[in-house]
Structure 1
Amino acid sequence: MELVATVALKPGMEVAEDTTDYKGNLLVKKDTILDKLTIQKLLVSPIKCVQIKEEEDRVRTYFEKIKVSKSFQKFESVYIANFTAYKVALDSFILKKVPPNNSDLLAIVDHIFTPFEHSKTTILDMLAVLEIKDSDLLYAHGLNVALICRYTGKWFSLSEEELQTLILCGFYYDIGKFKLPKDLIFKPGKLTDEERALMRTHPVHSYNLIQNLNIDINIKLAALMHHERCDGTGYPQHLAADRINKFAKIISIIDAYEAMTSYRAYRDPLCPFKVIDIFEKDGLERYDVAFYLTFLSRMVEEYIGKEVMLNDGTECSIVLINKNNLSRPMVRTGNNYIDLSQNKNLYIEKLI
């Protein structure tokens, strides 16, 4: 909501809070739609300002509120301006074999990240509602993963040099997908066995594209190994945990997170607690335990205090994290507390 001077009030504005005079007498009720008569009444009263609803006050869900907020509109503008520079650099490399300038890539991330580093709304949640046209999705995927690496990298106790390496991994690791047919990359339905086999060649394509660049070896190995899994079920080499590069292990988690939480025209971003639930169901053996648990626990901590709706329609706030069941925190509704780890029929449906 926004505090608006009475002299600036206009018909059609909606009052956000009960408006009283200095003696506590009610002048205008909350949710009143202002008309000329009501505005005149306020102008002759002793009050000078009224709380007026903004667009974000009228929408219902957490992500809808972000999408109409002023901070997101600023973020979107900064993102688009830097996205263009990133796309030009990537096209020059893929089409003309002009190596990207790593300092420029890191600067692109900083230009987007720094103004919002301490924003009330996190980069993660703003990326979740950012709409990208289909033809740019592959470019945006790399940039988004690089931004998520920038945001989450410190969770893994990386040095500043290692953090920059991780960010560059985000830019480069999936570049091999540009060598695959677009109709395969963006196929909405289930892949055939032949299509799946072709899709699984992209880590090798990524490695081949960057193997001769003057970049850290960890970036090259992350590109080659980001689909390897610690239980040996990954590809292309079916490596066991002790043979998978550290940066590849981190990128594999962030890659999966970005794919599930990013906006798509055919679906809304998944609720973060649904994403965490998916990770918990099949991730403990597949991902590096230390990185996996660090990522999920820190992710859940981002939402302590947030309002949520359960699958039965109950509105609650998150008050405590269950470390042994991260997708099922303790929530409070009124004076009652619900431990979702003990109430298996209930789960978080969405943020509100």
Structure 2
Amino acid sequence: MRVHFRDVQPGDRLTQDTFTDYGLLVLSKGAVLDDHALSRLHQHQIDYVEIERRAFGGSAVEENALPIQANFRPLYQDAVTGIESIFGKALEEGKVHEEDLKESFQPLVENFKTERDVVSLLLMLNSQDDYTYQHSVQVGMLSYYIARWMGWDEQESVRVGKAGFLHDIGKCRIPDAILNKPGKLNDEEYKEIQNHSRYGYEILESSFDDHVLSLAALQHHERMNGTGYPNRIPGEQIHPVSRIVAVADTYSAMISSRVYQKKRDLLVVLKELHRVSFSELDPEITYTFIRHMIPNFIGKKVELTGGLTGTIIMNHPTDFFHPLIQSDSGFIDLSTDVRYEITQVYV
């Protein structure tokens, strides 16, 4: 079972090797967690460990009952419901109310401060239901984390998170028949979809004194090479907050399951994100995002081409997307063994 460092009890025994974010071994499988072991976990900033299941009253704790599921899922669902309500009011009234934003987004922020395993959150929360609203919550979450990873202070990071949370508010004016169309959009429909950036700008300009929120809605589809929309402006004219939201928006959209798109694996999409950072997305922001996401994959179970399964145990220092895998048949170094590729990552 997977538990947070603070929930470890003396005498718990590890069922997996525990590594730092950089792949260095901290404690080996089978280690008993005494005061010295707990001190090592704290010293190396290890958030979660895998331990043997404990029995309470004759029944074992379910292996899938992860702390993040118990603590975060209700907050996430409340935020999805909250952003749906915000969309509805924005369509009716043409504005977003500060109290509605605070009520929906602030409880998530409090959890963001303690939860560092972003990959597990995304794996747990990503489903096809209510794509537009889930996407808004995910982009708000990722925008906050990216700002923190960029070294921005807490207040500014929360502001960026709010910008991500509201970036698609203009879609409230787009007909559902276009938003949820399973087939390819025609030229007129695609043009209307693009209008959501301008709609969002208008709504947020009439809602808040903070122009940055409006700019993020307007510019999150602009691209560094000037090929984006609605104004095809080059990178130096795109606000830094808009650039962060663009990275979060692109990643969330690429990993999400929709009526016209199958869910894509988180690690595979990071590789694609890296590719587009050379032309479309801010390279510094994208690299910061990738560099901080990659360590979260250590300890995750994976499926490889051919159906082989294993666990990521170490990241390659210069090749983020081809880690070292431990399978039942031994170790597989994806940076040198070209027979295999990761097809799916699990919690």
Q: TM-score range by the shorter chain?
A: 0.7 to 0.9
Residue 211 of structure 1: which of 205, 209, 219 is its match? 205
- Give the corresponding residue for 1:200: 194
**Corresponding residue for residue 92 of structure 1:** 89
Give the deviation of 1:223 after TM superposition: 1.2
Secondary structure of residue in 1 paired with 2:189: helix
Distance across 2 between alignment mates of 1:69 and 1:242: 43
Residues 189 and 284 of structure 1: CA distance in aligned 2, closer, same or farther (over 3 Å):
same
Shift of 1:81: 3.6
Q: Which residue of structure 1 aligns with residue 151 of structure 2?
A: 157
Question: Residue in 1 aligned with 2:344?
Answer: 350
**Cα offsets for 1:176-222 (capped at 9, x unmatched):** 11111111111122222332222122111111222233332222211
Q: Does 1:76 align with 2:76?
A: no
CA distance in 2, matches of 1:123, 1:300: 10
Cα distance in 1 between the residues matched to 2:270 and 2:56: 47
Aligned CA distance change for structure 1 residues 158 and 51 (closer, same or farther; 3 Å): same
Partners of 1:269 and 1:110 lie apart in 2 by: 28
Checking the alignment, whether the CA contact within 8 Å between 1:106 and 1:164 is kept in structure 2 is: no
The CA distance in 2 between the partners of 1:88 and 1:97, in whole Å, is: 13
Mapped pair 1:130 → 2:159: no
| Aligned with residue 190 of structure 1, among 184, 192, 202 | 184
User: What is the aligned partner in structure 1 of residue 51 from structure 2?
Assistant: none
Q: Tell me which residue corresponds to 2:12.
A: none
Deviation at 1:226, TM superposition (A): 0.6
Partners of 1:289 and 1:342 in 2: CA distance: 26
2:22 aligns with none
CA contact (8 A) 2:219 2:229 kept: yes
- The equivalent residue for 2:232 is 238
* Unpaired segments ≥5 residues, structure 1: 3-16, 18-46, 58-64
Identity %: 26
Query: For structure 1, which segment, 110-119 or 290-299, has the greater mean C-alpha deviation from structure 2 after superposition?
Result: 110-119
Deviation at 1:350, TM superposition (A): 1.7
Secondary structure of 1:302's aligned partner? helix
Query: Which residue matches 2:264?
Result: 270
Say if 1:229 and 1:82 are closer, same or farther in 2 by CA, change over 3 A. closer
Name the counterpart of 2:104: 108
2:321 pairs, out of 324, 327, 350, with: 327
Q: Which residue of 1 aligns with 2:288?
A: 294
Distance 1:52 1:173, change over 3 A: closer
> Matched residues in 1 for 2:288 and 2:258: separation?
27
Distance (whole Å) between structure 1 residues aligned to residue 281 and residue 112 of structure 2: 30
How big is the shift at 1:88? 3.3
Structure 2 residues without counterparts, runs of 5 or longer: 3-14, 16-54
Q: Which string of whole-angstrom CA distances, capped at 9 and with x for unpartnered residues, describes residues 227-269 of structure 1?
A: 1111221111221111111111111110111123345588774
One-letter code aligned to 1:125: S
Partner of 2:48: none
Q: Deviation at 1:321? A: 2.5
What CA RMSD, in Å, does the superposition of the two structures yield over aligned residues?
3.3
CA distance in 2, matches of 1:154, 1:118: 12
CA–CA separation in structure 2 for the residues paired with 1:327 and 1:86: 34
Distance 1:284 1:324, change over 3 A: farther
> 8 Å contact 1:284–1:292 — kept in the other structure?
no
2:325–2:334 contact (8 Å) kept in structure 1: yes
| Distance in 1 of aligned mates of 2:68 and 2:158 | 26
**1:176–1:263: structure 2 CA closer, same or farther, 3 Å change rule?**
same
CA distance in 2, matches of 1:48, 1:82: 33
The higher-RCO structure (CA 8 Å, 6+ apart) is 2
Deviation at 1:303, TM superposition (A): 0.9
State the TM-score, normalized to the length of structure 2. 0.72
Cα 1:188/1:266, change in 2 over 3 Å = closer
Is 1:220 the counterpart of 2:246 in the alignment?
no
The residue aligned with 2:246 is: 252
1:177 aligns with 2:161: no
Asked if the contact 2:82–2:100 (Cα under 8 Å) also holds between the matched residues in 1, the reply is no
Q: Given residue 309 of structure 2, which amino acid in structure 1 is its aligned partner?
A: E
* Equivalent pair of 2:94/2:203 in contact (CA under 8 Å): no
**Count, aligned residues:** 295
- Partner SS state of residue 209, structure 1: helix
Q: Kindly indicate whether the alpha-carbon contact (under 8 Å) linking 1:106 and 1:168 is maintained by their aligned counterparts in 2.
A: no
Which residue of 2 is the match for residue 6 of structure 1?
A: none
Contact 1:109 1:147 in 2 (8 A): no
Mapped partners of 2:283, 2:112: distance in 1: 30
The amino acid across from 2:84 in the alignment is K
Alpha carbons of structure 1 residues 107 and 178: separation in structure 2 relative to 1, 3 Å: closer
